[in-house]
Structure 1
Amino acid sequence: MPAAPRDLHGHLCIVLRENDVAYGTWHLSCGRKQETIKVRGALSSNDGETALVWALDGHGVLMRSEWDVYPHLRSGALEIVLPEWSLPGADVHAVHGERLNASAKVVAFVDFLAEWFGHAGGQAMNMRTWIPQGD
């Protein structure tokens, strides 16, 4: 189990290719300390679900948002790596038409989303690095 970000160099990581992010580059922070780590691994995908299946099958360390892997964390299929380190946040926006602005259903749904994603004081639920249980 990695004890520090640099220890990820000794582990196979599953790289998720997203947008224009540099391939295999993970940005981590712990308080004011920030580190950028270049990870390696045999598997990469631009599909988060595929990468998650690979992690669940034990093929490496995966960086995913907590809300995306929460059921697997809760069941014990995945466990957190480097719990004191955070990854960049993933903004979630609720977009709706102007005429729906005053709708009670829209307000209730947005309130539900804010609670579901752990929104508190402008801080959404942290992203974390996950590894299959037992690795």
Structure 2
Amino acid sequence: MLRFDDLQLFVRTADLGNLSAAARRLDISPAVASAGLKRLERQLEVRLFNRSTRSLRLTPEGELFLGHARLALQSLDDGRQQLAGSRVGISGPLQLSAPSDFGRNTLLPWLDEFQLAHPQLQLRLLLGDRVSDLFRDPVDIALRYGAPDDSSLVALPIATGNRRVLCAAPSYLARHGEPQTPEELAGHNCLLYMLGGRVHERWRFQDGKREQSVNVTGDRCSDDADVARRWAVAGFGLVYKSWLDVAGDVQAGRLKVLMTQWQGESTPLNLICAHRAQLSKPVHLLREFVQARCADLLARAPWAT
């Protein structure tokens, strides 16, 4: 089995280009360093460095192994930090992306509560309906509706039973009446928003095994889904939104769910990250916390009663 100190010596020697300098940095004698490097080469059955009296440079095999050695040391260090974190609580930055409406009006107070319980955690929240590039954008994880388009991303379920609901403000319904069927939406002003640059104008409903899709129109459209919800609350028309986005407005009486005999399309909420190495203890705790809060809202959904 490869020894941790031998791997550490190898990486430090490669970084410094000098075995004696690496020995001094690790506070060991040159003889111990030389023996450790020879032991590692013997175990790997390759020569890692080309040595001369004046220079020390990596062999092709050494360059190939260097990346693996760095990853192994980093993984061990991450494990050590997680163990330390489990004893003293969670801390450090956590960069999170979330949809505009869910983030502002539902998630934000939850995050206040979560950070109050973990005061050493530094939250960085990015809100928007544009899908974040988790390989390039400055985020660790994202909360997103639906499965990711990129199958290489890791998706963990948060609220699998979430659905869209058709809503309107009491003031709008007093003027225009309530639609009873999807066909009647043609006679109403439907408030639209764009997802990924595409207008979300095809609304889908299900009545038992019967499914129906309708193309709707309206005089307002925004690239921010929160704006569409605000227009609906102000009484400008109908909105077709995730239950998690509008549950607070419905419970407060600002919006009313319509056509409850028709179920809206499934809109699961997932936690997305680029790779499983990002599923740290803070991420797991945040996922469990948000999952529990979403479950409370889903228990009060129209289809759950």
Q: Indicate which of 273, 284, 295 corresponds to 1:107.
A: 284
Structure 2 counterpart of 1:9, which letter? A
> Is contact 1:17-1:44 (8 Å) kept?
yes
Corresponding residue to 1:4 among 172, 181, 185: 181
* 1:90 counterpart residue number: 267
Give the superposition deviation at 1:2.
0.8
Structure 2 counterpart of 1:40: 217
Compared CA separation, residues 28 and 127, structure 1 to 2 (3 A): farther
Tell me the alpha carbon deviations over residues 15-42 of structure 1, each in whole angstroms, 9 at most, x when there is no partner. Answer: 1222375652111112211001111211
Higher-RCO chain (CA-CA 8 Å, sequence separation at least 6): 1
Q: How far does the alpha carbon of each residue in 1:66-122 deviate from its partner, in whole angstroms, 9 at most, with x for none?
A: 11111111110000011122222223222356345462x433322222222239xxx
What is the aligned partner in structure 2 of residue 131 from structure 1?
A: none
State yes or no: 1:73 paired with 2:245.
no
Q: Which has the higher helix share?
A: 2
Given that 1:86 and 1:126 are in contact with CA atoms closer than 8 Å, whether structure 2 keeps it comes out as no
**d(CA) in 1 for partners of 2:248 and 2:200?**
27
Bigger radius of gyration, 1 or 2? 2
In structure 2, the partner of 1:60 is 237
Please, which moves more after superposition, 66-75 or 85-94? 85-94
Moved more, 3-12 or 21-30: 21-30
Q: Distance in 2 between matches of 1:80 and 1:118?
A: 19
TM-score, normalised by the number of residues in structure 2: 0.36
Match of 1:51 in 2: 228
Number of matched pairs: 124
Q: How does 1:109-128 map to 2 (within 5 A)?
A: 109-118=286-295
1:30 aligns with 2:207: yes
Judged with a 3 Å threshold, the aligned counterparts in structure 2 of structure 1 residues 87 and 21 are, in CA distance, closer, same or farther, namely farther
> What are structure 1's unaligned runs of at least 5 residues?
129-135
Task: State whether residues 15 and 43 of structure 1, in contact with CA within 8 Å, keep that contact through their aligned partners in structure 2.
Answer: yes
1:24–1:40 contact (8 Å) kept in structure 2 = yes
Q: Give RMSD over aligned pairs.
A: 3.0
- Per the TM alignment, residue 127 of structure 1 is displaced from its structure 2 partner at its CA by 9.7
What letter matches 2:215 in structure 1?
A: K
Taking structure 1 as the reference length, the TM-score comes to 0.75
Instruction: Name the CA distance, whole Å, in 1 between partners of 2:261 and 2:195.
Output: 24
Pair 42,100 (structure 1): closer, same or farther in 2 beyond 3 Å:
closer
Partner of 1:42, secondary structure, is: coil
Instruction: Give identity over the alignment, percent.
Output: 20
Quote the Cα distance in structure 2 between the aligned partners of 1:126 and 1:31. 17
